[in-house]
Structure 1
Amino acid sequence: MLMRMLKSVVRYGYMPFMLLGVNGAAVALAASGASKLWLVGLLLAAIGCSFAAERVLPYEAEWNSPAGDGGRDVAHAGVNELLLLVSVGVIPVLAATVTVADVWPHSWPFVLQVLLAVLVADLGITLTHYASHKIGLLWRFHAVHHSIKRFYGFNGLMKHPLHQTLEMSAGVTPLLLIGLPVDVAVALAVAVAVQLLLQHSNADYRIGALKYVLALNEGHRFHHLKWAGIGDVNFGLFTLAWDHLLGTFSYDPARRFTSEQLGMAARPDYPTAYLAQLAEPFRASGACQAEPTGHQPAVQDAV
């Protein structure tokens, strides 16, 4: 009985708790000028809730067990979370040098300022993500993220730090040009981290029709299909609005994902160790070019 109740809580309450509860707490803390340590604690609590939800109601039970990738994923997450925090710390310096015109709506309620920052950042990050699948040089660095063979919360932070920096720069620079305040940037940084946890979560939560609007795990799994071209869908970080406009939205309710469908078909031997993954984009093999021949199954017949 208790387990059934917990599963129901995760299925229908996990997403609102993370998206509204954790982000709401971050907005309140940032607006009050609270110490950044409180926000770090909030992020750690969110990560703990992510792991707990995945164990109570997993989409694929085997994805909860490390496959020689646990230490690597912790290293990626630690480095990339640190980059997020550092980026917030240098925003005052950047704002003083790159702001073109301070037209930021400072008079708006704080929560609406954060929402505006999320929507603007979503466009820049989504377009950079899209370009990373089309431009060979960018793909070299983005391929690190697509080498995963299990889909769980920490995957969102499993990125090459240079690509993480590029995506965040694309999202934040337009905001800096119009006078992004530091406290809004702090709330945005937390929202990005929470979204990455939700988007790659192994928790089998339900969002109903929102799966066609919000970039969460049900839709993002399609992005990690291993066949070249087939996974070039659902690029959005926060929303799928830009995917609908780009014609890159994809969803098939009959699809069931397994580890055999994830990764990169063209590079099944992609390095798995952390330092090797940092070096791979600079090697000749880092191009990860798809094989010129061979069947690339459609979403429907790749089950």
Structure 2
Amino acid sequence: MLIGVNGVGVALIASGAAKAWLLALLAAAIMLSFAVERLIPYHGPWNVGHDDTGRDAAHVVVNEIVVLVSLSVVPLLAALIPWTGPWPLAVQVLAAILIADVGVTLMHYASHKVGALWRFHAVHHSVKRFYGLNGLMKHPLHQSIESTAGFAPLLLAGISAEVAAAAALAAAVQLLLQHSNADYRIGPLKYVLALNEGHRFHHLKWAGIGDVNFGLFTLIWDHLLGTFSYDPRRRFTSDVLGMAAKPNYPTAYLAQLAEPFRASGACHAEAPQGDPVMQQQTT
């Protein structure tokens, strides 16, 4: 997924193919993600809908439209700040990913610390299972804020529309992998790449326990922030996901869009006492 899907995306862009091919490629990646989740599931019950599939599909469609609209302004900005990198397209895309990772990670971190941001980010943390569509299950305003934080420096530098499109595809693929129910392993790379093996810890529902592993593409900034966490003893089920402080968070799409405008309060509740896995994380 990281090399193949993104590699095909870069090749399509380099060949001058229409952007619609990138949407077709993303659709293929989603179907591939679902297939692998059923071949090697981490937790079988997560492959069964929790009355959330239609809602999550709505989130994906709306948020991808937001991304497409955002990409449409890139050529206008590039005309104001013309810049063409001296490196091959693939190298420019990789650089864009690493730069965007900084902004998105820091905004994600802030979204757990600043109440006004958390109210919108809470939509994403209301999930009770891990599967591919969770990644884009976000309030569109928060999706826009995070994307702006990640891509604004690139836009100010005059990033090309081609590099922006490839980076947007990479972000969508990353979110698929990061929230996948597939039980794949990446060995020591789990300490560097922000994939599902580490990101599950971010969705633990208790105060302090789930405020870890904020990275989108990498965990580099989590190591620097002191927010990296991993414990091989932890097994995840729906019982440990969500928001303990808000167990009855709305589940319908329109209700979730409205909730941030009236919600307040803490993002998590304290973890139960006596569970050594909850009370101590191996870092």
**Aligned partners of 1:153 and 1:197 also within 8 Å:** yes
Q: CA deviation at 1:296?
A: 6.5
The CA RMSD measured in Å over matched residues stands at 1.8
Tell me which of 92, 104, 113 is aligned to 2:75: 92
Aligned to 1:78: 61
Aligned to 1:11: none
The residue identity in structure 1 corresponding to 2:150 is G
Aligned to 2:128: 149
**Aligned partners of 1:143 and 1:288 also within 8 Å:** no
Q: 1: distance between equivalents of 2:126 and 2:53?
A: 14
Alignment pair present for 1:211 and 2:194: no
Tell me which of 43, 52, 59 is aligned to 2:42: 59
Tell me which of 255, 277, 280 is aligned to 1:300: 277
Residues 205 and 75 of structure 1, relative CA distance in 2, 3 Å threshold: same
Q: CA deviation at 1:290?
A: 5.2
**Aligned partners of 1:226 and 1:264 also within 8 Å:** yes
Aligned to 1:279: 258
Q: Percent identity?
A: 68
Residues 294 and 118 of structure 1, relative CA distance in 2, 3 Å threshold: closer
Aligned to 1:182: 161
Q: CA deviation at 1:298?
A: 6.6
Q: 2: distance between equivalents of 1:274 and 1:89?
A: 26
Alignment pair present for 1:28 and 2:11: yes
**Aligned partners of 2:213 and 2:227 also within 8 Å:** yes
Q: 1: distance between equivalents of 2:274 and 2:105?
A: 25
Q: 1: distance between equivalents of 2:191 and 2:270?
A: 33
Q: Secondary structure at the match of 1:76?
A: helix
Q: Deviations over 1:71-100 (max 9, x none)?
A: 100000111111112211111223445x4x
Aligned to 1:257: 236
Alignment pair present for 1:46 and 2:23: no
Q: Secondary structure at the match of 2:67?
A: helix
TM-score where L is the length of structure 1: 0.88
Aligned to 1:108: 87
Q: Deviations over 1:46-91 (max 9, x none)?
A: 0000000000110001001111111100000111111112211111
Residues 77 and 297 of structure 1, relative CA distance in 2, 3 Å threshold: farther
**Aligned partners of 2:205 and 2:241 also within 8 Å:** yes
Q: Deviations over 1:239-297 (max 9, x none)?
A: 000000000000001110010000000000100000000000001xx124257877477
Q: Deviations over 1:182-240 (max 9, x none)?
A: 10001001000000000000000111111000000000000000012210000000000
Give aligned pairs, total.
280
* Structure 1: runs of 5+ lacking an equivalent: 1-17
Aligned to 1:172: 151
Q: 2: distance between equivalents of 1:107 and 1:95?
A: 16
Tell me which of 81, 89, 107 is aligned to 1:128: 107
Aligned to 1:220: 199
Q: CA deviation at 1:302?
A: 6.7
Residues 221 and 243 of structure 1, relative CA distance in 2, 3 Å threshold: same
* Structure 2: runs of 5+ lacking an equivalent: none
Structure 1 runs of 4+ off > 6 angstroms? Answer: 291-294, 296-299
